[in-house]
Amino acid sequence: MPSKLQMFSLQVWDRGIKITVLNKPKATFLIIYKQTGDMKKIFILLLSFFCFFGFAQNRKPVAIIFDTDIAPDFDDVGAMALLHAFADRGEARILATISCNSFETTVPTLSVLNTYFGRPDIPVGIVKQILPNKNCSQFWAQAIVAKYPHALQSNDEAVDAVKLYRKILSSQPDKSVTVVSVGFFTNLAGLLNSTADEYSTLTGKALVKKKVKQLVSMAARIDKDGRSGYEFNVMVDAAASKKVFANWPTPVTISGFEIGEKILTGIRLIHNQTIQNSPVKDAFEIALTKDSNTVGRNSWDETAVLVAVRGIAPWFGYRRLNFDIEKDGKNVLISGEKFTYLTFKQTPEEIGKVIEDLMMHQPKKQ
């Protein structure tokens, strides 16, 4: 809700409307309307203006650190497109894009997408250890790295993920950062385990507790037994997942496997002829074609970005639950209500439309 009442002056003339925000003399808006005399259309224009203005006034952009394994699957590319679409709309601010996967294309891929969307200088970090290393077997990553410009040519040029987390978190206001994790938990476990350094005297866990508002993650799964499941992001580095699930000190929202599984996107994107020379479209086109997929890819990672920026409603509901992570990476329900776990409210098709519209966002003209 608005914190204070905003006063406007309105001038309506035959070709349009002039709106001035009274206590902000520079905030004058002109809505030009070509035809004369149609008060109904003028009213609709006015209404849309105030809806937009109200939205812009009341929502601060969500500050996001995005942690991804971007290579073994391409929903991460869709998630990056959403992230930049939200940034272009003033709904998000991208503080860093970080890879939890040491496979050789991950940093160049992040750099391709950040460059394509006009933000080549977003800090990029990567896990500085041999594992996890999950390749891009569909070769969409190698293809977009070969075709599109990117500031960072190799993983070596990106900084250590945990160092970057500590540097950025320490410079942000308290409880202001949303961490979106759509890959393995290696970096986040490393962050929790970290100790005082040149950026902060706090331990990693204390730094997270002080600076992070929430963690939103695509992770875990509840299978037919209703109490457990195996999910890739959790299984790849099970020890790290266990550490994060047991010790993360802020609210956590989880989009489980069975959510993104049902939301299919990508077909409208690859058939959209107005989108040319786009690494997002190329990645989906190459991968969907390789899979002979004509229905669309599951939108796991995109759901995490959507919820991180715009919230759970109106697309999803939730239940509260808690998980333990077993040695082999199985997530098992245990007592407690630590996590907010998404459930469907709208249909997967309705949510898919919102996501795919955002995936088709094109860079703002420079």
Q: Shortest approach of Ca ion to residue 82 CB, angstroms?
A: 13
Nearer to Ca ion, 76 or 282 (CB): 76
Residue ranges in contact with Ca ion by CB under 5 A: 69, 76, 182-183, 301
Nearer to Ca ion, 183 or 204 (CB): 183
Cβ neighbours of residue 68 closer than 8 Å, sequence gap 6 or more:
76, 79, 80, 97, 98, 99, 100, 101, 106, 110, 182, 183, 301
Q: Shortest approach of Ca ion to residue 41 CB, angstroms?
A: 45
Nearer to Ca ion, 194 or 331 (CB): 331
Question: If you search the block for the tokens 């990693």, which residue do you land on?
Answer: 204
Angstrom CA distances, 217 to 79, 213, 285, stand at 12, 13, 26
Q: What is the dihedral of CA 39, 40, 42, 45, to 10 degrees?
A: 170
Nearer to Ca ion, 158 or 207 (CB): 158
Question: If you search the block for the tokens 């229905």, which residue do you land on?
Answer: 295
DSSP class of residue 347 equals: -
Q: Shortest approach of Ca ion to residue 36 CB, angstroms?
A: 53
Number of H helices, E strands in the chain: 14, 15
Cβ neighbours of residue 211 closer than 8 Å, sequence gap 6 or more:
169, 170, 172, 173, 174, 175, 176, 177
Q: Shortest approach of Ca ion to residue 300 CB, angstroms?
A: 7
Q: Shortest approach of Ca ion to residue 283 CB, angstroms?
A: 13
Q: Shortest approach of Ca ion to residue 260 CB, angstroms?
A: 10
Nearer to Ca ion, 207 or 238 (CB): 238
User: Which residue type, as a one-letter code, is found at position 329?
Assistant: G
How is 235-302 classified by DSSP, letter by letter?
HTTHHHHHHHHHH--S-EEEE-HHHHTT-EESHHHHT-TT--S-HHHHHHHHHHHHTT-SS-EE-HHH
- 3-state secondary structure (DSSP) of residue 359: helix
| Cα-trace Rg, the chain | 22
Q: Shortest approach of Ca ion to residue 72 CB, angstroms?
A: 7
Nearer to Ca ion, 177 or 180 (CB): 180
Q: Shortest approach of Ca ion to residue 236 CB, angstroms?
A: 10
In 59-139, alpha helices (H): 75-88, 106-116
* 264-265/297-298 β-pairing: antiparallel
Nearer to Ca ion, 69 or 282 (CB): 69
Closest CA to 237 of 162, 127, 89: 127
Nearer to Ca ion, 194 or 303 (CB): 303
Nearer to Ca ion, 19 or 304 (CB): 304
Distance CA 278, CA 276 (A): 6
Nearer to Ca ion, 77 or 145 (CB): 77
Q: Shortest approach of Ca ion to residue 198 CB, angstroms?
A: 31
Q: Shortest approach of Ca ion to residue 75 CB, angstroms?
A: 6
